[in-house]
Chain A
Amino acid sequence: MEILLDEKQLGQAVARLAELIQSDIPSKTQIAVIGIRSRGEILAQRLIKALQGHFTYPVLNGTLDITLYRDDLNRAKGAPPRVRTTEINFDITDKLILLVDDVLYTGRSVRAAMNALTDFGRPRMMRLAVLVDRGRHEYPICADYIALQADIDPARSVRVRFKETDNEDRVIVE
């Protein structure tokens, strides 16, 4: 096991991500931050806190469960995945959607998330923010805002751990 980001570095990474977003998205934009379950959800909440005061309009927050849109549903490999709730209690049409996930790897989750989101309406724009881009994407998908870029061997896995769910703040490679 190797530590990619310790608690302090993780805090700085979130702040850096917020800075990148602030310098790129005009403050008068109607923005909705939507986290992909489950670590993306927590990252989204932290980002909203960090973005406080920047935007003129209230920043909306939603959570997306992409299970029903996964491309590996009908391939045998263990027990069925748990479907959890999607909570988007506002109309996404004409808003800038900032999609948030903890790790960008194959790009498949983001593809599923984009498909799911377009079933809710027609956003004006979609942007993607990730904490770690570990490279070696399988789909042609890139993030707009990246806190940490690292080339990680496909045999290893990157785990983002948050206090809210894992009792600690750090990113590790196993």
Chain B
Amino acid sequence: MGRKTQWTHKHLIGLSDLTREEIELILDTAKSFEEFSTRSIKKAPTLRGKVVVNMFFEDSTRTRNSFTLAASRLSADVIEFTKTSSSVSKGETLIDTARNLEAMGVDIVVIRHSAGGAPKLLSRSINACVVNAGDGYHEHPTQGLLDVYTIRQMRGSLEGLKIGIVGDIAHSRVARSDVYAMTKLGAQVTLIGPPTLMPASVCDLPVKVSYNLDAVIEELDVINMLRIQFERLGGNPFPSVREYSHFFGLTMDRMQRAKKDILVMHPGPINRGLEIESEVADGPNSVILRQVANGLAVRMAVLFLVTQASTLEG
């Protein structure tokens, strides 16, 4: 299946641009990187001499370290770039910063930015490969990929699975990338949360919407609990944290009513006791740490594929 699909993109901006076959190609490639962690020397010379810059205009631990480790396992050199310790704090524009880094011979720019569309803009302005590590409320493609990778690893396929994504959908780039990846791979996705945290654009997505977690939890095969992003919430989307927890938190109580083998996912970082109870996050249904481990393999695959595609232009 998909054997003849060839990867031709030198940038990874979002999963909405990709076909099912292309997503599967990334997942299959990632599969090859899974055994790396078991080797005595966890490194291959594949990207030797390539330079990856991590341009993170927003905080991150998981994604950033995962990209750094992925790049170093493929023998690339990594430059870490942060907003506060760079000339961005002196007023340099994004494109100028990137062009300057490119002048030093950077081959891949991994970018996280609070403005949706920043990676796309960058990909038009520089020659290096651009990989989106999360842009505004737009997409977080590698998170979407590692989520479907994890589900596929646990269930073999996403075909026909019922997946619930719970929480702050409006401010979630993870939800968006998840929806594209999951539905393209044949799953049925229900977005669940209070109406105040549903984006207006939700009707454009191939999903169902529910404002009542209790009404749908019994039918779910997979549940992805999004983090309440206090840093992005404006106004008063819900009366209190306790009330949110009461209606949308994944508690042991709710787990009793879910399918016995439901997969519990969370993109991290967890607000323990808020969107998910500790006992659930650390419980037998949780694949949260598996998601993190798989993120590494998926990012290795992405770095490998975009650099290979960039040689096509010669």
Contact = CB atoms under 8 A, between A and B. Distances in A.
A32 B32 CA distance: 21
Interface string A80-95: 1111111110000100
B40 A76 contact: no
A68 B31 contact: no
Contacts of A154: none
Interface string A116-153: 10111100000000000000000000000000000000
B231 interface: no
A78 to B, nearest CB: 8
Nearest to B304: A83
B32 A120 contact: no
Given A65-B32, A86-B32, A115-B45, A81 B39 contact: no
Interface stretch (B201-209, B284-292, B305-313): B305-313
B233 interface: no
B7 interface: yes
B314 A76 contact: yes
Contacts of B46: 68-69, 73
Secondary structure call for the A interface? loop
Contact of B311 (A75, A84, A115, A121): A75
B17 interface: no
A86 to B, nearest CB: 6
Nearest to A72: B311
A85 B307 contact: no
Contacts of A73: 46, 308, 311
Interface residues of B, number: 30
B32 A76 contact: no
B44 A69 contact: yes
A74 interface: yes
A35 to B, nearest CB: 16
A119 B39 contact: yes
B32 A83 contact: yes
A87 B41 CA distance: 15
Nearest to A118: B41
Contact of B40 (A78, A83, A84, A121): A121
B164 to A, nearest CB: 31
A68 B303 CA distance: 12
A1 interface: no
A120 B307 contact: no
Contact of B308 (A80, A84, A119): A80
A74 B307 contact: yes
Interface in B31-73: 31-35, 39-41, 43-46, 49-50
A116 B308 CA distance: 19
Task: Give the interface centre of B28, B29, B44, B309 by most chain A CB atoms within 10 Å.
Answer: B44
Nearest to B41: A119
B6 interface: yes
A85 B308 contact: no
B127 interface: no
Nearest to A76: B314
Contacts of B31: 85
B45 A120 contact: no
30 contacts: A65-B32, A68-B32, A68-B44, A68-B46, A69-B44, A69-B45, A69-B46, A73-B308, A74-B50, A74-B311, A76-B311, A76-B313, A78-B312, A79-B308, A79-B309, A80-B6, A80-B309, A80-B311, A82-B28, A83-B33, A83-B304, A84-B32, A85-B35, A86-B32, A87-B35, A116-B44, A119-B40, A119-B41, A119-B44, A120-B39
Interface of A: 65, 67-69, 73-88, 93, 115-116, 118-121
The 10 closest A-B pairs by CB, nearest first: A80-B308, A79-B6, A76-B314, A119-B41, A68-B44, A68-B46, A83-B32, A76-B311, A85-B32, A83-B29
